[in-house]
Amino acid sequence: MSQKHNPDQLAVFDNNIRARIEGIRQSERCLWCKNPNHPLKAKGLCSHCYRWDNAQRKLFQEVSRLPAKTARDPYAEVRRQLKIANEAIDLCKIEGEVLEDILDRTDSRSLERAFDALSKRILGGKRGSQLFDQNTSYFYDFSEMQRIWLRHLIGMLLEEMNRKSRHKRAFSSWLHKRNAAADAGAPAK
């Protein structure tokens, strides 16, 4: 049974959410992942993004001093690590763009996809995928500001989970791109 709220209470709640979102927008956040909950290091990056930036910079310098690539490249591992670092940096930036977009507008479908992704991450693919079953009617009763706030909170949870698996995801992304290039007959990069 749905509880009816006083419109004045809802307006106050929406104003509180609006103030919090504005506070997040104005706070110092990582330039890449846009996470407001981690202290910033040099270059305006959080410690996680800064480690990837530092690793990428060092690997790039090392790879630039290496001889040209050969058929049996003894430096293949270093080159692979650079590509993985580049993929991880791209993932950081993409997640930041997603978090930024969430603060602008969130519809019922977007909120449902976020809950779906979170349930799959926590419960696994089979059990988590059955929770919402493509039914956005759960989220129509929320005001736009409430949907934005819920989506932001879920986005922060998912980003934190993603931070812990970013190296694995970056490697998978690089491997997928390499295999796709090989299937298309393009030389592997």
pLDDT (tens digit per residue) in 122-178: 777 766 666 666 665 666 677 788 888 888 888 888 887 777 777 787 888 888 887
What sign for the dihedral angle of Cα 174, 176, 177, 178? positive
What is the average per-residue pLDDT within 101-105? 77
pLDDT at 1: 38
**Backbone angles phi and psi of 173, in degrees to 5:** -65, -45
pLDDT at 93: 93
| 101 vs 7 pLDDT, higher one | 101
pLDDT at 186: 61
Residue 17's CB is within 10 A of a number of other CB atoms, namely 19
- Indicate the pLDDT class of residue 112, thresholds 50, 70 and 90: confident
Where do the DSSP E strands lie in the chain?
none
pLDDT at 187: 59
pLDDT at 166: 78
| 61 vs 117 pLDDT, higher one | 61
Q: Is pLDDT at 179 greater than 50 in this prediction?
A: yes
Q: Is pLDDT at 2 greater than 70 in this prediction?
A: no
| 24 vs 86 pLDDT, higher one | 86
pLDDT digits (tens, 9 = 90+) for 24-83: 778 888 999 888 888 898 889 998 899 999 999 999 999 999 888 877 888 888 888 999
* CA neighbor of 33 nearest in space, from 145, 173, 176, 164: 164
pLDDT at 3: 55
Least confident of 3-7, 55-59, 108-112, 174-178: 3-7
* Boundaries of every domain in the chain: 27-183
Percent helix, strand and coil across the chain, each rounded to 5? 70, 0, 30
The model carries a pTM of 0.68
| Structure tokens that stand for 36 in this block | 């407001």
